[in-house]
């Protein structure tokens, strides 16, 4: 009996096999360092990672775990748990801000070039929360892409204003 308990205890401390994970590109890039540390503790575990900002059918793709940024109505047959809370923030590169009139009211957003995500339902409008509450504004997209971080205002992009996740700027352990 002691030997059987020892085998069960040893198996519960070790992980092996393949974990098939799908995650948005930028979140997945942050996970890579964590996966390396995790594999140091559990060397028999293999990660099969699909980096995609598209909606992926995790059952058809044979994925065990999916990290999603929005509530996509995945259905009651799947188990979900919130991992983090990150807001979408309105951003623009310093060069874009210098070259264009300031945004004084949310409604003026339609006069600016915007970088639109092709995520379902976000293509031609943004919903912002301000002092008066929630307001949905039609935008004029000068660039549409499925990879939200393409609109990184601190980097190369001068296309216009973007709604970006605050996640890359959150503190990490």
109 and 54 within one domain: no
Domain around 57: 2-66
Answer yes or no: is 76 within a domain: no
pLDDT tens-digit map of 78-122: 777 777 777 778 888 888 888 988 888 888 888 888 887 766 555
165 and 99 within one domain: yes
CB contact at 8 A, 113 and 160: yes
Answer yes or no: is 115 within a domain: yes
Answer yes or no: is 78 within a domain: no
pLDDT tens-digit map of 123-167: 678 888 878 888 888 888 887 776 555 445 444 457 788 887 776
- pTM for the complete prediction? 0.60
Number of Cβ within a 10 Å radius of residue 148? 23
How many domains is the chain built from? 2
Q: Say what the pLDDT of residue 103 is.
A: 85
Give 55-87 as a 3 state SS string.
CCCCCCCCCCEECCCCCCCCCCCCCCCCCCCCC
Residue 22's closest CA among 60, 70, 78, 64?
64
Is residue 1 scored above 50 in pLDDT? Answer: no
45 and 106 within one domain: no
Number of Cβ within a 10 Å radius of residue 110? 13
92 and 54 within one domain: no
CATH of the domain at 111: 3.40.190.290
Answer yes or no: is 73 within a domain: no
For tokens 């059952």, what's the residue?
59
165 and 94 within one domain: yes
């Amino acid at each position: 009996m002691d030997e059987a308990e020892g085998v069960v205890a040893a198996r519960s401390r070790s992980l092996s096999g393949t974990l098939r994970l799908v995650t948005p590109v930028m979140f997945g890039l942050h996970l890579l360092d964590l996966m390396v540390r995790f594999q140091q503790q559990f060397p028999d575990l293999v990660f099969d990672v699909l980096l995609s900002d598209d909606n992926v059918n995790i059952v058809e793709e044979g994925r065990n775990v999916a990290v999603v940024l929005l509530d996509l109505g995945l259905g009651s047959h799947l188990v979900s748990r919130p991992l983090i809370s990150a807001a979408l923030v309105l951003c623009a590169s310093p060069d874009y801000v210098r070259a264009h009139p300031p945004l004084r009211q949310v409604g003026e957003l339609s006069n600016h070039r915007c970088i639109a995500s092709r995520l379902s339902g976000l293509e031609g409008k943004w919903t912002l929360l301000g002092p008066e509450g929630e307001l949905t504004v039609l935008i004029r997209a000068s660039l549409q892409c499925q990879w939200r971080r393409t609109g990184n205002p601190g980097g190369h992009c001068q296309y216009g204003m973007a709604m970006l996740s605050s996640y890359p700027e959150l503190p990490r352990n």
